[in-house]
Amino acid sequence: MFKKILIANRGEIACRVIKTAQRMGIKTVAVHSEADKDARHVELADEAVLIGPAPSRESYLVADRIIEACKKTGAEAVHPGYGFLSENAEFSRRVEEAGIIFIGPKHKSIAAMGDKIASKELAAKARVNTIPGWNKPIESPERAVEIARDIGYPVMIKASAGGGGKGLRVAWNDKDAHEGFASCRNEARNSFGDDRVFIEKFVEEPRHIEIQVLGDGHGNCVYLWERECSIQRRHQKVIEEAPSPFLDDKTRKAMGEQAVALAKAVDYQSAGTVEFVVGKDRSFYFLEMNTRLQVEHPVTECITGLDLVEQMIRVAAGERLAFGQSDIRRKGWAIECRINAEDPFRNFLPSTGRLVKYRPPMPTMEASQPVPAEGGVRVDTGVYEGGEIPMFYDSMIAKLITYGADRNEAIARMREALNGFVIRGISSNIPFQAALLAHPRFVAGDFNTGFIAEQYPKGFSASAVPHEEPGFLLSLAAVSHRRSRERAARLTGQLRHREVRIREDFVIVLRDDQGGRDEIPVTVRPIGSMFHVGIGGRTHEVSFEDNLRDIAVHGHFDGKPFCAQIERIGLGYRISHNGSSLFAKVFSPRQAQLEALMPFKAPPDLSKVLLSPMPGLLVDISVQPGQTVRAGERLAAIEAMKMENILFATQDCVVSEVLAAKGDSLAVDQVIIKFQ
């Protein structure tokens, strides 16, 4: 067994690998860029080596510096994690030639499967079901349009070296195909250094289901069941679960056997994932093979009880698999939510900055530790409170995993965990995740990869998510205000006859974005440890177990336990629960009368300017002063967190002034273009 390994990665996955290595008694070496000098993976590792400036192409993607770090520290092996160089056959080959063990498949397997075009040809030879398409590199956007027409829209445009949703677009017409081809090439070139693109038929109403495989260097290969990854937004996985609520045992077995056949065809030696698209009739087609550890591997670890990182290390060290196919259990149900630094209320634009507050739910499971029979909550992360989320890398903050006896139990645990996950300073997709977990179709298992686009065609807003109990959020706001008044009444030194008086009747005031105003009378009476809340002709019982200063609060509502987030903001309260949210101001009746007289401040008119919707690098300006622009035309492109975001004109206009130049680093809401 190795004495020391180097993790050629950063963030959550680097921390994850370190945990298993420490349990196995293996020393670890972290590599880091200048932006990551204070990162959590650097702190956890036994040693750390600086490998370059912040941009990944000058640090984490530079093979020479990683190999040099191995030699400098005496690391015998390299674990690549996922992303960066994890599926780079040339890197794997160079590591092996340097006398260092690559904790992953051999470079020939990576080359065969990492290239999406070659892998499809190999899959067909191995009698794995494949999907129709054009599997040769395409040289121009015009040729891409011709091929797309021949195959028939819709088509999927994919970078050959792509992965993680990068370098991938769905085209429904010629315009989509032309623009999607250019964007895919740019993203692939920037993220992977390989701009080859191919096209295949897009299966409508598909499910994305993948099979986890594990092979050793002695001819043994098994599959570790499947993961359901159909809940996606723009081809980025959002929620993953194991097993799939859609597959039957016959299909599950057939997919597993085909995945193993493909792995054996390339002498696969490590953990890998064979991805399939599955139709509503349970017909399935090979998509691609990821020759690395997947982001969503924890759900497989939960239902099988296996540590996949440990298995990768043992296989790399030359050991045989200690089990056969018949020994692999499938017990319980696990769900993973990717907690990302993005703003769901601003079309999921990246959000960077300092984590002012980072309070995950209390974990009852740990990576690399035995899975509790009763299930629990696990948090895999590479961040800490006070740390920075830089703009140079992907947007993941943490992975939240819950495990239960069945799917309903896993969902219930995930909903409670999301309600208690506090992140402030930057935006996160937690409200959106909570709304998805509460959606009736998700709970029923009735979804496909188009689910999010179908259910949220105009984007996501918390106000569009009705709460299952109409009086719940309002009651919490009212009781929070009453508790705040009680605390104020206990303060000493108050002027005589000017003391804070506690009343029982209040008015909750709600306003919408257009200034519409709603008043809701409410009464709050303490009875023992409870508060009786009268609202809308009904009385609710509310109790709290936490202090006023806590954002995530626990308590009981009408006898049922809850976890919600309550935050005092100015004169109001932001209440969030199960994806629903409202901002309420709670006044005395007289205060409500006076507040109604206050003028409404309308939001500023932004139709005359183009603002940067996120921090990022301005990679292109497509217009000049004086130019007439039509609605839908391209204005600019911003790169952030390894994704290219194109900004289009929302209306016909004339460019007055261009205030930013290509190559500028932009702040959020910075003005890029002014219009006449």
Segment 79-133, tens digit of pLDDT: 999 999 999 999 999 999 999 999 999 999 999 997 777 888 899 999 999 887 8
Q: Do domains 4-103 and 609-675 have the same CATH topology?
A: no
Q: Is 288 a catalytic residue?
A: yes
- Domain 132-201 classification at class level: alpha beta
Distances (CA, A) of 435 to 554, 563, 579: 19, 15, 4
Domain assignments of the chain as residue spans, ordered by start? 4-103, 132-201, 207-464, 472-595, 609-675
| In contact, 649 and 629? CB cutoff 8 Å | yes
**What's the pLDDT at 164?**
64
Distance CA 189, CA 184 (A): 8
- State residue 668's pLDDT score: 84
- Extract the tokens encoding 385: 């409170």
Positive or negative, the Cα torsion across 640, 642, 644, 650?
A: negative
> Which class is domain 472-595?
alpha beta
Write down the catalytic residue from 288, 296, 342, 416: 288
- Residue 163, pLDDT score: 67
Alpha-carbon span 536 to 21, nearest angstrom: 58
- Give me the DSSP letters along 503-568: -SEEEEEEE-TT--EEEEEEEEEEETTEEEEEETTEEEEEEE-S-TT-SEEEEEETTEEEEEEEEE
Q: Which fold has domain 207-464?
A: D-amino Acid Aminotransferase; Chain A, domain 1 (3.30.470)
Pick the CATH number of 4-103 from 3.20.20.220, 3.30.505.10, 3.80.10.10, 3.40.50.20: 3.40.50.20
pLDDT of residue 642: 67
Look at residue 154 and give its three-state secondary structure: coil
Cα dihedral 134→137→141→147 (10° resolution)? -20
Q: Give the pLDDT of residue 168.
A: 87
Q: Give the chain's residues under pLDDT 50.
A: none
Q: What is the pLDDT of residue 232?
A: 95
d(CA 67, CA 599): 64
* CATH architecture, domain defined by 609-675: Beta Barrel (2.40)
Q: What's the pTM?
A: 0.83
d(CA 662, CA 621): 6
